[in-house]
Structure 1
Amino acid sequence: MNTHAQGPGALAEEILRGVGGAENIESLTHCATRLRFQLHDGEKVDKPGLDALGGVMGTVAQSGDRFQIVIGGAVARVHAEIMNLPSMSGGTAPRPKSDAEVKAAVRAKGRGRYGWVDNFFEYLSDSFRPLMGVLLGSSLIIAIASVLDAFGLVDFRAADKSATWVFVDAMWRSVLYFLPIFVAYNAAKKLRIDPWVGAAVMAAVMTPNFTGMLNKDSGIPGITCTTNATLGTQECVAHVFGLPMQLNDYGGQVFVPLLMVALLALVYKGLQRVFPENVHMVFVPFFSMLIMIPVTAFLIGPMGIWAGNGLGEGLSWLNGNAPIVFAIIIPLIYPFLVPLGLHWPLNALMLVNINTLGYDFIQGPMGAWNFACFGATAGVLLLSVRHREKEMRQTATGALAAGLFGGISEPSLYGIHLRFKRIYPRMLVGCLVGGVLVGVLGGVDTNAFAFTSLLTIPVFSPMATYGIAITAAFFTSMALVYFSDFRTPAERALANAERDAAERATDAENTTGTENTTPAETTPADDRALVAVGAGAGAGAVRASAGSTATAAAPAAPGPSLVLAAPVAGRVVGLDEVPDPVFASRALGEGVGIEPSDGRVVSPVDGELVTTAATGHSFGIRTDDGVEVLIHIGIDTVQMKGEGFDVRVEAGRRVSVGDLLAEVDLDAVRAAQHPAVTLMTVTNTADLTSVEPHLGQDVTVGAPVVTVRR
């Protein structure tokens, strides 16, 4: 849970610390929602610590020492704050290299057996990602025009539109028509060659001189044209230098610039090796254009068109012959493509369809996925209101607004859905319902590339069919998430307990204006120091206390309860089963032992980290209402002198449930012949009504294992 509130600047510093400092950063860029780090050593990242920061929606570790941090709409500000930190500009730490300076080194690193797949999709993604803003802008312009058309205020599709509406057409068509030049620029930049050369090569086959040959009545001799019966497009051939050259209108094409730049990069870098560096500026661009413009016009351009048309015809066939299957498949695969960045090829096909067919049939079914995603977020928002979860309410509100009005799913995915495994199955049901309705009702088309939001509904036809499908997808996911919860029962109990404790603390402060006086404050000094004593002594220190068990004398009426979460994953056992007489005797209080299945040790409560053993094997935490908790990793592990213990926190700081305390090499503990059982006890049990262990269960980190009643 993102529980640490961060102010401006503080968040940037915490993020920089979490990724290993400025010296660990090769490059840092950002997209619409995410910070994208290329690191020297990905192992230095404190992922749990970053996930716990307020303002961070989630984190994604990638191959090749790449790391993403999902921020949301404030990503540009956070990026600027990080880049302006003193440690990022000189001093002992070198300023991170630019993307252009490190891409070759990144590609040279081993990315595993299928690293080329990673590279391919990164190439696609980075070629399109910078265009997200203008694509969204053009989609909203056409959405406004479509709304006016839907209300009969203007005939948006009339052949004899006025100059005003012809000009409005130019406003949104500018992005789609010149998209190949934009993509070529980004792709060339991605491959570390002059992006203007890539743009110039693509622009050469989009000039009026070139496109003028597409008109068979232009009077230019040697041009013949035929019509594609399936797609309804005209194909013309001209004889240039005595060779047949297929003529195409490359406006809106995306496969052509992607293919062209991939080959241009080889030519460009080859020429850089041929010519001396002092004449690169003149001869490398010159020969690159001299070679690549004809190659693009004669070979790559037609190949890109054939590839796009082939994929378009295949999907068109599936849509025409099995529309229900097609309408179901699209929304069901998108939830898995988007988080991995693998949705760009389908987005490219949408643009090809619009360019070749004049309409696209993929975006309609895709809308079912988007609105199922937003519906699941709405369900989370309703639950957060019901359960008074302030942080989740804020996260869900922002994500839902970005989705419904911007058509952007990343804040929902990374901020919520991927954090709670119960959401995806329920969201997929919404995707299925929406897809089935699109298929049964005859499909949905659009003649524009649109981000599927409330504002772009009018660009889809039939609008009623689309509206029914996305409404059903939205409310199905919302209802399933709301009525079955996005948290497991154990997670819900723990979250509600944390909320109640926080509200009680707030109420007490508002009522008295001072901190509550708790039993812990009247506890003798040696009792308050017990956490530290027990942490350092291992099996060597025993405090005799007649009332140190869970059945100690209690007040007449039980007070509020506090739930302690499991600090590690594993099997919960009673202290009687622990091979240590001190813990088994409850001298250090009632609690549980957990046979760990994982070496990550996290905080079981919110509070102050009172002690941290130098050897990393124990931690003492005191909650705001005076409950003292000891976490002890292994038996007699103090003898290991810190070997195998990677401590991630310092004494004196505040911690929240789930904050990473340490990572432990369990194999090293067992190799040293120490029991690896992790103990968690309430050291001031005698001051409490009861301490109730929940035994005999296999738990994950964060599951409730002890209930404390004051």
Structure 2
Amino acid sequence: MASVNYRTLAADILEGVGGEKNIATATHCATRLRLTLRDDAKANTAAVEKLPGVITVMKAGGQYQVVIGNDVPTVFAELGKISRFGGDDAPAEEAAKGNIFNRFIQMISAIFSPILWPLAAAGLFKAFLALAGNLGWLAPEDSTYVILNAAADALFYFLPLFLAITAAKRFKANQFTAMAIAGSLVYPSIVALNGTQANFAGIPFSVMNYTSSVIPIIVAVWLQGYLERFLLKILPSAIRNFMTPLLAMAIMVPLTLLTVGPATIFLANGLSSGITAMFDFAPWLAGAVMGGFWQVFVVFGLHWGLIPVMLNEIATTGYSVMMAPLLPAVLAQSAAMLAVAIRSNSAKRREVAFPAAFSGFLAGVTEPGIYGVNLPLKKPFYFGIAGGAIGGAIVAMGGSAANAFVFPSLIGLPAFATIGSFITLLIGTAVAIAIAFLLTFFFGPRETPDTVDAGVPGKADGGTAATPSAATIATGSVKVLAPVTGTAVALSEVPDKVFASGAMGAGLAIIPEQDTVHSPVSGTVQVAMKTGHAYGLKTDSGVEVLVHIGIDTVQMKGEGFTSAVTRGQRVEAGELLATIDRAKIKDAGFSDMTIMVVTNTKNLTAVVPVGQGHLDHGVPALDIEL
């Protein structure tokens, strides 16, 4: 469909169904426009079916369904530009379910996902550089050290710029405008105002340090998306293209500085005062709070209110008691990462967790592991908090303190050796590490196997052997795996004529026996319906696979479906796509039959179903010749 003009197609469909006035409602699923017409007789079905880009038209469930294929979101978006229907297709992640905290974690994980590998590499780079400096191989004032440090630290320092890009993709905002907003927050003259009182148009505000920050730019880009959509609707077309980014930058930069910064500083100062008071009357409690929640403070940028207090302690007394609990806090989270690296069945997760744990232990750089391992999996993060809290309380009771401002890490350990009980500090830190590691190792998520290491099959929680990654193409062929466990059914037996006819491509269907749906290939999620019932995947070799859960289940509007992936995310074969409630699907009167088709079958040499009878998810179901 590369040659199809989507704007023209949307207009032709609108005309073919009798015009905008004949449409009562319009929506879409993974493959088709679903229209409710006021008068079916006004629709010229024969003409609509002949349109370039339309596969077929069918009527079912009171809907007039125009089958487009994978490009239906684009057609739907174009429909929104010429009628009151359609519009931008919201990514699946915007419909995330669960409590606020779970949705927050999912959002943070999705935004960090594209930069995890560079982040992990930079963390490891910083660890090795710190080691070289500690061993005397490189002096901090040496130009070689300065250059390497810039290479290692730039991603962390300018983190808001990187997050602006990924957040803009999620919140459907202009990426370059988002980068301009982020760049303003870390602009040298703004950074120089850190900790001072400034004013904008006579409005006073406190300035915080936005370098390495996370939440401020995410909030700013989220608001930017709404602002841009509003401006695009009200601005005349003659000035829209340049006035939209101009106004977005002019409004969002001051707004962020006037609101997010002062609010963060207010909370951070309150937190700092409370913890300082706690150290006076209950050191063990203050140690538990610092040890348990330090990484939480970092995520929300609240640590900026505590760092000046630590620096002031060192400047006035020669040491900081507030810094001592940070050692168990950081190493407990690193221990949880290490347990995930050893215990997880996901090769993809292990590849992130091992270097993240190393950089955390050695140099105190935990960002890659927090955002790529512990926080997305939740339990390791909680276990790290538990270990850090107990270890922090022990350390604080021993009167431990740091006589220099260092990253809490094994390399920074000498800074904690001269004040208070060093033995107690080591015991508290060891306890924190042990708690986090053991809890994560025995009770943390094992995850689904997604690859085979050196040809050795992994095992899923249910004991099913994993098969080679479908993304690996050694002989010009691809194996597509069964996405669910159940009974295989020929595509011709599917009770939906579009799928049964093969119009959407060759494939098969499976009647599921479990409530989990897994990725059949390694590749990128091209489509993740916000209703959670359908996913489009594309392998590195260009094979496009659609996994459609149930028949007409789009009408359930997400009830009974919980997505585990987001659009644009990289997944490995066998990785969880969604969790479903089969009982709820059947109670709603729909079939839970899961259909898997290769939507670009016509571009391939052959697509042959090989799975028969009972299939476990992860076993070969289709053989593809490229």
TM over 0.5: no
TM-score by length of 2: 0.45
TM-score by length of 1: 0.40
